[in-house]
């Protein structure tokens, strides 16, 4: 069985609900994820929603804040999707679960640019509601999207790396995290003088996260801090 993600469109919710009924899948809406993320991280749900939906503007939310809020949302979403037989409608789903063979990524659009990350594109202008539900269900039931030991592992790795990233993003906005069967690889940037301190901080945070077996931290030069220190 598969996990289905549908991008955020006006038709997504109704289609997701119909597919979930037809396949007996559990349904996860963006509202549910927002609420859980707000509770888990102690943040206002409206602010997380803005980070996910509002376009980037010069006078708007800073990139750092947007990344932090998005990572909190993704951390919750990844853990909700680590089970099987679920359908999610909302933002960032396609991007989050790249590389998972049992994840069927559906892009519903009204013409214009079609996401390259998706597995199935449906043009809402010339597809009837029932037809869209049937096509998505048939794809989800095909053997191509059947869960494997490998794909479940991929999903678990994404869930763990998302949790770790959400915990570390206060240390470095551009923190890069990869997880493989409990081993976590973290890449951060720091000036030479702050490296030791940063590695200790990362180790402390990550070791407290469940399912982490060990952590490896690599640090590269933060050139902005470096030059700021040089010319101070």
Partner 1 sequence: MNANGYEVLIVDDEPIVGRQLRYALSKDGFSVETCTLPLDALRRIEEKYFDVVVTDIRMDDINGIEVMERALSKSDRTKVILITGFAMMELARYAMENGAFDFLEKPFTPDDLRTAVGRAVGFPTG
Residues in contact with partner 1 by the rule CB under 8 A: 99-101, 142-146, 148-151, 153-154
What does residue 134 show for φ and ψ, rounded to 5 degrees? -65, -45
Name the minimum Å distance from CB 143 to partner 1: 5
Name the minimum Å distance from CB 149 to partner 1: 5
Q: Which is nearer to partner 1, 30 or 151 (CB)?
A: 151
Helix (H, G, I), strand (E, B) or coil at 136: helix
Name the minimum Å distance from CB 178 to partner 1: 15
Q: Which is nearer to partner 1, 36 or 97 (CB)?
A: 97
Name the minimum Å distance from CB 1 to partner 1: 12
- As a whole number of angstroms, the distance between CA 169 and CA 163 comes to 10
What does residue 64 show for φ and ψ, rounded to 5 degrees? -65, -45
Q: Which is nearer to partner 1, 76 or 93 (CB)?
A: 93
Of 127, 52, 59, whose CA–CA distance to 90 is shortest?
52
Q: Which is nearer to partner 1, 204 or 214 (CB)?
A: 214
- Residues contacting residue 191 through CB under 8 Å, at least 6 positions apart: 221, 222, 225, 226, 229
Q: Which is nearer to partner 1, 174 or 216 (CB)?
A: 216
Long-range CB contacts for residues 56-60, cutoff 8 Å, separation at least 24? none
Instruction: Tell me which residue has tokens 């059947």.
Output: 146
Name the minimum Å distance from CB 85 to partner 1: 15
Q: Which is nearer to partner 1, 68 or 105 (CB)?
A: 105
Q: Which is nearer to partner 1, 44 or 83 (CB)?
A: 83
Beta-bridge mates of residue 221: 190
Of 46, 96, 89, whose CA–CA distance to 69 is shortest?
46
Name the minimum Å distance from CB 105 to partner 1: 11
- How many residues does this entry show for the chain? 232
Name the minimum Å distance from CB 142 to partner 1: 7
Beta-bridge mates of residue 6: 89, 106
- Rounded to a whole number of angstroms, the CA Rg of the chain reads 20
């Amino acid at each position: 069985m598969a996990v289905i993600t549908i991008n955020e469109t006006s038709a997504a919710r109704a289609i997701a609900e119909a597919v979930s009924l037809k396949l007996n899948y559990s349904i996860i809406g963006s509202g549910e994820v927002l609420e859980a993320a707000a509770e888990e991280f102690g943040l206002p749900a409206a602010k997380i929603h803005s980070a996910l939906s509002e376009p980037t503007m010069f006078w708007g939310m800073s990139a750092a804040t947007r990344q932090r809020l998005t990572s909190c949302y993704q951390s919750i979403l990844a853990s909700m999707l680590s089970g099987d037989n679920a359908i999610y409608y909302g933002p960032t789903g396609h991007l989050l679960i790249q590389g998972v063979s049992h994840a069927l990524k559906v892009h519903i659009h009204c013409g214009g640019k079609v996401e390259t990350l998706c597995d199935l594109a449906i043009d809402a202008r010339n597809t009837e509601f029932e037809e869209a539900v049937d096509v998505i269900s048939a794809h989800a039931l095909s053997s191509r999207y059947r869960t494997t030991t490998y794909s479940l592992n991929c999903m678990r790795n994404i869930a763990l790396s998302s949790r770790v990233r959400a915990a570390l993003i206060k240390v470095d906005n551009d923190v890069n995290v990869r997880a493989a069967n409990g081993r976590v690889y973290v890449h951060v940037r720091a000036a030479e003088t702050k490296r030791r301190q940063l590695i200790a901080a990362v180790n402390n945070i990550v070791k407290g996260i469940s399912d982490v077996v060990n952590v490896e931290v690599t640090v590269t030069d933060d050139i902005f801090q470096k030059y700021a220190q040089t010319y101070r």
